[in-house]
Amino acid sequence: MSEVRSLPESQFNLVFPCIADLPRPAGVIKTKEEDFFVEEVMNPELSGEGEHVWLWLEKNGQNTEYVAGQLARFSHVKKVDVGLSGLKDRWALTRQWFSVYLGNKPEPNWNEFECEGVKVLSYQRHNKKLRRGEHSANFFRLVVRNIDNMANVEALLLQVRDKGFPNYFGPQRFGFDGANLDRGVQYFEGKIKASKSQRSFYLSAARSYLYNLNLASLIESGDDLSADLSGPLYGDETPGSNELTEPEKEILEAHPAFKKGIHQNRLRLERRPYLVVPEAMSWSMGEAELELEFQLPTGVFATSLLAEVFNLSQGLGEGNQGMRSTR
């Protein structure tokens, strides 16, 4: 355990250990959107009839929620009538499904849908709305540029491919400069108000941060990660079947604002694997450059995989905030 991962500066200690046992080179992701390609793995059996239209879209440099809003406006429906399975990075080239509930409304000409950076690749009627988390995985094709030392890259990639990587929530979960955590504390303590969507972001950031702390604690203890180990996404326990360990309780007690917010919202205790092994991982290397393909389960961050190999920085967006620092 020779290196650590650092997230944006915040009132919190957002530095988490990794398991790489070799020095990691510096590398840059998202020099352009096409360097970070993500595609939902999902093969829906669409009925061809019904009150919903499912659309397979490609977006470049656009926010998923913004695209959903534009679909609602174009279709003259409420945004709540637009379904999607997963949120995708803005600073990327992504392909994903959306659904639009039309009811008795006439179907618009989807070929006339105009949204900068968005293409309608296909569409078909269906009798159900697309719900969150329906896709099984995400396929990634990424390019890392400006690698300052290629010496250990192959060995580090082999470690990740064969043994997996810590399943940390990535820095994007915490907002720019850790803002979702800082504002979450203010909201849970009653100092600021929040909309329903903001409250959801704050709760998600809090649970993710506490999970990362538990994972970091396990790595720092020197214990090996394995596929059967999992950590808490805090919520109400189920006595006798799903309970917190004493170390997990200690981490929660050390963050009273987060504990208060999680308890007040009556979330259920869930478990998330500590280790993920990528599927179908392959790569090719050039001069100071790497192209990498792999598949990950939903909810797993590609940046957490990359950060086991590189001391990352990001070219586009708010991610110029290094994701790890070397000690």
| Residue reference for tokens 């690698």 | 147
Neighbouring residues of 107: CB distance < 8 A, sequence distance ≥ 6: 53
Nearby residues of 226 by Cβ (< 8 Å), 6 or more positions away: 274, 275
Q: How many CB atoms lie within 10 A of CB 124?
A: 15
**271 phi/psi in degrees, rounded to 5:** -125, 140
The span from the CA of 203 to the CA of 201, in Å, is 6
Distance (Å, whole) CA 107 – CA 309: 48
Closest CA to 7 of 301, 321, 327: 321
Pairing of strands 275-276, 4-6: unpaired
- In DSSP terms, 36 is beta-bridged to 142
Local structure of residue 76 (DSSP, 8 states): T
**CA-to-CA distance for 315 and 247, rounded, in angstroms?**
38
Catalytic residue among 21, 35, 81, 89: 89
3-state secondary structure of 155: helix
Q: Is 224 a catalytic residue?
A: no
Q: Dihedral of CA 75/81/85/88: which sign?
A: positive
Catalytic positions, please?
Answer: 89
